Structure 1
Amino acid sequence: MTKKTSVPQAPKRRLSWNDPGVRALIYQVLILSIVGLGVWYLVSNTLHNLAIRNISTGFDFLHREAGFAIGESVIDYTPADTYGRAIWVGILNTLRVSVIGIIAATLFGTLLGIARLSKNWLVSRVASTYIEVMRNIPLLLQLFFWYAIITEVLPGPRTALNPIPGVFLSNRGLKLPALQGDALDWMVAGLALAIVAIILLGHWAKKRQEATGVIFPLVRAAIGLLIVLPVAGWLVSGASLSLEMPVMKGFNFSGGISLSPEFAALLAGLVIYTSAFVAEVVRSGIQSVSRGQWEAAEAIGLPRGRLLRLVILPQALRVIIPPMTSQYLNLTKNSSLAVAVGYPDIVSVVNTTLNQTGQAIEGILIIMAAYLTVSLSISIFMNWYNKRIALVER
């Protein structure tokens, strides 16, 4: 006969203060209770004070007529539009300066970071001086400086600087030629299609090179797509496109594209300030690549430009991306200083709205939600890209 073996049962867990799990659960419940009570007190006290002062709450004011003008906007806007549309204009203005600023600061900062590591003594010292000076001057002071340069130093419209035909720089801002016509939408669609095609082509070229070792001329193909597809869109639309040049009428220019002094000062300040930090991020990323990688690339005869583009920068990206994400977030949040130079961003528009409606809490919540949404979107995208380029262990 076989003996039955008894399986030892786990001892029953008793509720005891000496049990670390029980203590952790009790602490968490207490902390959540305290936080919940604090939130309840703040909300109830706020609603009580608003009721005493006969101040209505809610977001119904967004559907009322705004009644104030906005100096510049990405979409059509008039004072007869609602507060909701005015706030949307402010959000788009913030996104406009943030996106352009991020692209410009990345390009300029990357060049500065590479220049600081240059073997040329003069180039290296100039880049180092620029970085140290700009990083240690507060951004708000830089915004005031650039706004004063544009509005006080530059000449008036009648004597505007004309460095290139059709381009005028004055204390009223920058005037540029503008494309007009039905073909413009088709050309933009062609440009977007070219960008998508370049991304897919780059992915295919990389797989092909890994499999066969043959390098595909991606740069020349990309340039060709960026030219051919927009031109094809222009031809498909019937070639209805014209170039509108700025023309002096009265006391200011008419026609073309206008960049206001406020937008120019804000963009210049953000790019010049942030690019100094981006340069340090790029420099540290390049220096993190081991010297052996440089020597191996030089041993096979790669010129310095291709060495940086094909060997060093792809490896440095793994170090660059995380701190670069912080710089992008800082630039986006620093755009809230636009109110100091009069650019109508989300903060400026909401400030005007809450002064007219008295909905201060709702206005602040809208600003917080707008910046939170934009910042989280940037973080999600950069974290995705960081995981995509991370080394995969085998």
Structure 2
Amino acid sequence: MIKLLRDDRFWKIAGQAIALILVIAVAAILWDNLSANYSQLGIAFGFDFLNSQASFDIGEKVISYNPENSYRQAYLVGLVNSLRVMGIGIILATIAGLTVGISRLSDNWLLRTLAGLYVEIIRNTPLLLQLFFWYFAVFISLPKVEENQQMKGPIYLTNRGIAVPWLATLPGWEIWFILLAIGFLAAVLLWQWRARVMIEQAQPGRQLLWAVGAIALSAISAFMLTRNLPFRLDFPHLTSELQLEGGLKLTPEFAALVTGLSLYTGSYIAEIVRAGIQSVPRGQSEAAKSLGLQSGIAMRLVILPQALRVIIPPLTSQYLNLAKNSSLAVAIAYPDVYFVVASPTLNQTGRAIEAMLIIMVTYLTISLIISLFMNWYNQTVQLKER
């Protein structure tokens, strides 16, 4: 027995076992407390309430929904709204961060100074304050339709939202979509094949020519099958009832949320991009110049591919932050998944634990998906030993 007590391996296993027992005990106490509270309220723990009628409307929705639908459908509407903000926000933040990050290293004094001011101002003010600024000081303060009845398009900037020309689908767009998807896939494969030929056989690759040819062939095939284009340009217009119809309409809540998240996250991405570029040895840019490459081409073909190895890991964290920060939509009444589940659903059902679990699992799942994709992409840009 004494020998066993002196064995470090025993104490390592015993310590883990004690910690596990404590965790199980705490979980059991919490579950017993939850069950007792629910029994006093006359309800049972579960998610069956999701099949009940929601009886509330949602102001902004991409998929079909009405108050007669279930809480499950309301949750899906909020989830789609959240995913839309996250997807568009990540794209815009990446563009803003990449542009500003490169501008921070520009030889142009004015461009470098403006980029630096953007980063320092946006990064050092609270995100919630910025959302309030974009919502109340910018988008809600746009001209009222009632006071500008003679407003002319094709772009409408009003306190009800923004309306811009957009593409409206025409019959046969599904065929166009399928054939163009095949064409883009073929273009990627052809690009890789021609790049391999250029390296291994020292022959002209002409990747762009092959890729454009594959996409053009698929577009010609789709036009021959449908005899029309997949889309037409739909212009917004103001009706006699002073309602905006046609085009793409963005509500003030959506526009403020996407703008605030994109600019805020973009300021952090800009510093990540700048640090990644500066991590590349200076000799790489000097070698590119000695070969006669212009600065833009050298940045795209020589510097950025090497900088990605440093940029991707912290960039993943910023994408995750943007996804989680989108829950601040509740502050400006944008109906994302947090707003839909934590406000009307929780207030009407009283299922606080279930509602919080749904929100936690939703954001956890989204974050894990982003992490898995970015980790996979990070592996593809790392140096591989031969």
Tell me how far 1:242 sits from its aligned partner: 4.0
Q: Find the counterpart in structure 1 of residue 106 from structure 2.
A: 118
Match of 1:265 among 251, 256, 278: 256
User: Do residues 197 (structure 1) and 186 (structure 2) align?
Assistant: yes
Change in CA separation of 1:30 and 1:161 when aligned onto 2, cut-off 3 Å? farther
Residue 370 (structure 1) aligns with = 362
Q: Which of these two proteins has the greater Rg computed from alpha carbons?
A: 1
Query: Which residue is equivalent to 2:7?
Result: 19
Deviation at 1:80, TM superposition (A): 1.3
Matched-pair contact (CA < 8 Å) for 2:71–2:345:
yes
Which residue of 215, 234, 247 maps to 1:244? 234
Match of 1:168, as an amino acid? Y
**Aligned residue for 1:34?**
22
Q: 1: CA distance between counterparts of 2:325 and 2:16?
A: 36
**Contact persistence 1:142–1:269 (CA under 8 A):** yes
Does the 8 Å CA contact 1:175/1:259 hold for their aligned counterparts?
yes
Asked if the contact 2:140–2:160 (Cα under 8 Å) also holds between the matched residues in 1, the reply is no
Q: Is the 8 A contact 1:66 1:86 kept in 2?
A: yes
Select which of 354, 359, 381 maps to 2:351: 359
Give yes or no for the alignment of 1:59 onto 2:47. Answer: yes
**Shift >4 Å, 4+ stretches:** 160-163, 219-228
CA RMSD of aligned residues (A): 2.3
Q: CA deviation at 1:221?
A: 5.1
- Indicate how the Cα distance of structure 1 residues 143 and 160 shifts in structure 2: closer, same or farther if over 3 A, else same: farther
The 8 Å contact of residues 139 and 256 in structure 2, kept in 1 or not, is answered as: no
How many residues align? The count is: 381
Contact 2:149/2:242, CA 8 A, preserved across alignment: no
Length-normalised TM-score, structure 1: 0.90
Unaligned runs of 5+ in 2: none
Please say if 1:335 is aligned against 2:335. no
The structure-2 alpha-carbon separation of the partners of 1:27 and 1:123, relative to structure 1 and needing over 3 Å to count, comes to same
Does residue 157 in structure 1 map to residue 157 in structure 2?
no
Deviations 1:53-95 (A, max 9, x none): 2233211111111111111222111111111011011111111
Asked if the contact 2:191/2:210 (under 8 Å) is kept, the reply is: no
Opposite residue 31 of structure 2, the aligned amino acid is V
Q: Does 1:289 align with 2:280?
A: yes
**CA distance in 2: counterparts of 1:228 and 1:73, whole angstroms:** 37
Answer yes or no: is the 8 Å Cα contact 1:161–1:170 preserved in 2.
no
Contact conserved, 1:184 with 1:234, CA < 8 A, in 2? no
- Map residues 187-226 of structure 1 onto 2, 5 A cutoff: 187-214=176-203, 216-219=205-208, 222=211
SS at match of 1:157: coil
Counterpart contact for 1:71–1:344, Cα < 8 Å: yes
Structure 2 CA distance for aligned equivalents of residues 358 and 326 of structure 1: 34
Q: TM-score, normalised by structure 2?
A: 0.92
8 Å CA contact 1:202–1:218 kept in 2: the answer is: yes
Counterpart of 1:302 (choices 293, 306, 326) is 293
Contact map agreement 2:140 2:252 (CA 8 A) in 1: no
Whether the 8 Å CA contact 2:191–2:211 is kept in 1: the answer is no
Contact residue 146 and residue 265 of structure 1 kept, 8 A:
yes
* In the alignment, structure 1 residue 324 sits paired with structure 2 residue 324: no
Confirm or deny: 8 A CA contact 2:145 2:242 kept in the other structure.
yes
Q: Distance in 2 between matches of 1:261 and 1:224?
A: 42
Unaligned runs of 5+ in 1: 1-12
